[in-house]
């Protein structure tokens, strides 16, 4: 008798007694059987037995496959119990989506331990699909790009990428950017048709491509933007820096999400034009200016921190004792720390702006990016605010889900969907209030971490800070486009005066 048939697996209380390979295969059997029958009981059984799994005897590939299967299980359950109409707006707080993201991120982190393969490409594509669904469209494109680096020309990934670009284009308020995005989507859909696609996907791709073609004439679709003909600066240093920013998708410019050519090499992101009877729009614009400046400074400090050409003169004569533990002290490392702390703090400034703009009702002393989305009424439990839950704002939906990447000690009951969230919060806390020791990459982290000290390899700090910078950039894009969507929805309350401030001259920035 095959003990891995669905009926036998349903009779088990747990996976105890099965070897890792059978556990992975068994999960797949339960999930696929449940999906085929449209019966959630098989899927729920697999998810129940797969919870809190001990991976002591697993190979890394088996752990990766386990998390990939668990993500599929939550996806199938969502397909059975979630909205049947793809246009239906579901509540922001969705456990099935949370668990899919958590498991796919765990599978992806394990994938970094061995050469990229088709499974990693599938994980990246699925993450791209999920991030697009939850409104984190800017970040979803990054996952698609990484998947296409592993499996170039893969039709399904190209179709999903182009679909996301098309949706992104629809909420851009700059006409030139919108046209550029639609052209990019049109070309991507054409490339997707050259690859393997499911019949339904192929039909949808053709329909979407024809729709874009109906908006433009052939000359517009074939227009040459001369994408790499824009200036990157007047000095070698500036050109090097701007090329690095483009490559790492760090310009505050939506176009950097779809191209790394010089056409995207400027920080043109702003809040949309706001009209009001009071001075609130001016307050929002001033705060956004500050947020942009802090980001640009953190980005450049990070660049300098990872590219120190030589010891800086400000470090000369700074007498320090050497205890041979590999701890490094320098201006470059302090710039890395400043970049990390500044990036992390920007999220609370975004929360401050949103709390006022959406009139969420939080006391200014209690505002934080992790907190503002939820009810602050005592005894109400963990509940998303109605003002948030009822919005059909795709970009604000992205901001809401982005808050789930973070951990806040004062509200531990809010679950995070990022495996490293608690570690990032701990690093920030040690940077701000205690001691953090940045050690050489070749040195092992000491077992005894000392009194109130956090030890981290320089390479790890660099990687975590880069991810933080990229996440901040995405949040700022969602904020800008989300406010624009809200402005379209808000009814007119009589005459108001739009604000058209002058653009600041770069020569005055000193």
DSSP string, 120-172: HHHHHHHHHHHHHHTT-HHHHHHHHHHHHHHSTT-HHHHHHHHHHHHHHHHT-
Residue 236 lies in a domain: no
- The DSSP code for 343 is H
44 pLDDT exceeds 90?
A: yes
Residue 94 lies in a domain: yes
Give the per-residue pLDDT at 449.
55
Give the per-residue pLDDT at 92.
73
Residue 231 lies in a domain: no
Residue 455 lies in a domain: yes
Give the per-residue pLDDT at 389.
81
Provide the CB-side half-sphere exposure for 256 (13 A, CA). 24
Question: For residue range 466-497, what is the model confidence (pLDDT) as tens digits?
Answer: 999 999 999 999 999 999 999 888 765 544 44
Judgement on whether residues 52 and 169 belong to the same structural domain of the protein? yes
Give the per-residue pLDDT at 108.
94
509 pLDDT exceeds 80?
A: no
Of 330, 402, 410, 397, the C-alpha closest to 367 is 410
Judgement on whether residues 285 and 217 belong to the same structural domain of the protein? no
Judgement on whether residues 216 and 365 belong to the same structural domain of the protein? no
Residues 6+ apart with CB under 8 A from 56: none
Judgement on whether residues 20 and 165 belong to the same structural domain of the protein? yes
pLDDT band at 1 (very low <50, low <70, confident <90, very high): very low
52 pLDDT exceeds 90?
A: no
pLDDT band at 450 (very low <50, low <70, confident <90, very high): low
Judgement on whether residues 167 and 298 belong to the same structural domain of the protein? no
Q: Which residue has the higher pLDDT, 484 or 510?
A: 484
Whole-model pTM above 0.85?
yes
Residue 204 lies in a domain: yes
User: What is the rounded average pLDDT of the residues 275-304?
Assistant: 90
User: Which residue bears the tokens 């040459």?
Assistant: 224
Judgement on whether residues 162 and 18 belong to the same structural domain of the protein? yes
Question: For residue range 88-140, what is the model confidence (pLDDT) as tens digits?
Answer: 445 677 889 999 999 999 999 998 788 878 899 999 999 999 999 999 999 99
Name the least confident of 55-59, 121-125, 383-387: 383-387
Q: How many distinct structural domains can be found in the chain? A: 2
Give the per-residue pLDDT at 462.
96
Residue 247 lies in a domain: no
Residue 230 lies in a domain: no
Task: Report the chain's terminal Cα–Cα distance, integer Å.
Answer: 78
Residue 134 lies in a domain: yes
Q: 484 lies in which domain range?
A: 280-308+327-491
Give the per-residue pLDDT at 4.
81
Give the per-residue pLDDT at 318.
84
Question: For residue range 245-273, what is the model confidence (pLDDT) as tens digits?
Answer: 999 999 999 999 999 999 999 999 999 88
Question: For residue range 294-353, what is the model confidence (pLDDT) as tens digits?
Answer: 999 999 999 999 998 788 888 788 887 777 677 888 999 999 999 999 999 999 999 999
| Spatial distance between the Cα atoms of 495 and 189, rounded to a whole number of angstroms | 44
């Amino acid at each position: 008798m095959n003990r891995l048939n669905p009926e036998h697996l349903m009779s088990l209380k747990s996976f105890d007694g099965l070897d890792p390979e059978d556990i992975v295969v068994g999960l797949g059997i339960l999930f696929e059987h449940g999906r085929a029958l449209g019966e959630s009981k098989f899927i729920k059984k697999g998810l129940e037995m797969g919870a809190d799994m001990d991976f002591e005897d697993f190979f890394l590939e088996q752990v990766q496959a386990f998390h990939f299967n668990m993500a599929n299980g939550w996806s199938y359950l969502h397909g059975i119990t979630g909205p049947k109409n793809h246009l239906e707006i579901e509540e922001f707080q969705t456990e099935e989506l949370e668990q899919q993201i958590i498991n796919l991120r765990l599978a992806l982190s394990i994938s970094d331990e061995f050469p990229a393969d088709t499974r990693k490409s599938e994980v990246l594509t699925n993450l791209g699909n999920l991030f697009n669904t939850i409104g984190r469209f800017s970040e979803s494109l990054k996952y698609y790009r990484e998947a296409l680096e592993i499996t170039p020309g893969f039709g399904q990934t190209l179709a999903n990428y182009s679909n996301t670009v098309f949706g992104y284009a629809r909420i851009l308020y700059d006409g030139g950017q919108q046209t550029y995005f639609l052209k990019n989507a049109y070309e991507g859909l054409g490339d997707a048709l050259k690859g393997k696609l499911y019949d339904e996907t192929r039909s949808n791709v053709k329909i979407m491509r024809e729709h874009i073609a109906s908006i433009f004439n052939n000359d517009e679709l074939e227009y040459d933007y001369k994408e790499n003909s824009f200036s990157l600066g007047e000095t070698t240093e500036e050109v090097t820096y701007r090329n690095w920013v483009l490559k790492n998708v760090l310009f505050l410019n939506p176009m950097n999400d779809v191209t790394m050519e010089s056409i995207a090499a400027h920080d043109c992101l702003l809040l949309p034009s706001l009209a009001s009877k009071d001075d609130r729009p001016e307050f929002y614009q001033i705060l956004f200016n500050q947020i942009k400046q802090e980001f640009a400074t953190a980005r450049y400090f990070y660049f300098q921190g990872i590219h120190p050409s030589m010891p800086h003169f400000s470090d000369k004569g700074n007498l320090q004792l050497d205890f041979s533990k590999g701890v490094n002290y320098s201006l470059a490392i302090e710039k890395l720390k400043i970049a990390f702390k500044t990036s992390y703090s920007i999220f609370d400034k975004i929360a401050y702006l949103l709390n006022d703009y959406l009139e969420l009702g939080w006391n200014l002393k209690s505002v934080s990016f992790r907190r503002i989305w939820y009810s602050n009424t005592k005894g109400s439990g963990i509940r998303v605010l109605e003002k948030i839950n009822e919005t059909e704002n795709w970009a604000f939906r992205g901001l809401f889900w982005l808050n789930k990447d973070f951990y806040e000690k004062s509200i531990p009951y809010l679950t995070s969907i990022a495996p490293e969230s608690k570690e990032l919060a701990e690093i920030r806390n040690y940077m701000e209030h205690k001691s953090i020791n940045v050690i050489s990459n070749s040195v092992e982290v000491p077992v005894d971490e000392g009194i109130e000290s956090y030890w981290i390899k320089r390479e790890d700090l660099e990687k975590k800070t880069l991810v933080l910078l990229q996440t901040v950039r995405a949040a700022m894009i969602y904020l800008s486009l989300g406010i624009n969507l809200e402005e379209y929805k808000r009814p007119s309350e009589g005459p108001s005066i739009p604000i058209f401030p002058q653009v600041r001259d770069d020569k005055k920035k000193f």
